Amino acid sequence: MADAIADEAARLRWLADRVPVPTIRLSVATPDRAWLLTDAAPGLTGDEWLARDIDALPAIIRGAAKLLQGWHALPVEDCPFDAGHRLRLAQARRNVDEGAVDTDDFDQDHQGWSAAAMLAHTEAIAPLQSERVVTHGDFSLGNILFDEAGQVAACIDVGGAGVADPYQDIAIPWRNLSDFGVEWPAMLLLELGIAAHDERRLQFHRCLDEMF
């Protein structure tokens, strides 16, 4: 837990003035403990807005896509954090070995799978190539805050941010939006300017996320 808090603090410092994130007020770390205090982030998460008003979905998608384009446009050479899929696969293996994977939380099409089976499948479809951009790492609708006009107010939970394949950030909202119908993930890709997506990379990152 201390490491996770320290990771969050380090990334919040680097991201300040680059993308909308909460401002740190206090951060303290020792070898085995850490504390982090930030300003309260304004707005409601995408999930909370949709629970109130499903008609907000198009505005949520447009706002999320614009935010993601801003993340992915950050200069890779300036980012000190590596979040590539090889590192995440190594952590996934540790999670499986330690029994830390919640198989009950797997997506519907993976229900009944063991953690070991998910790991083996994910390793088998690992992408042969990838791009390098600055990624959020857990770009779910629950980690993006919107104001009443549908504009992005802040993004939170940035402890996994770093240089990685952009599909790391595309796969998670794509999966979120699939719950509302196939047209909404398609709208996300369109808003991101992706005319033909890479299905293998999309599925790999979706499966990889199952183990976190």
Positions annotated as catalytic residues are 138
Measured at the CA of 147, the angle between CA 146 and CA 152, to 5 degrees, comes to 40
Q: Which position has the token pair 């979905």?
A: 57
Task: End-to-end CA distance of the chain: give it in Å, rounded.
Answer: 14
Among residues 35, 34, 33, 9, the alpha carbon closest in space to that of 23 is found at 9
CA distance 173 to 158: 15
Query: Which amino acid type is present at position 98?
Result: E
> Given the DSSP bridges, would you call strands 24-29 and 34-38 parallel, antiparallel or unpaired?
antiparallel
Among residues 84, 162, 165, the alpha carbon closest in space to that of 132 is found at 165
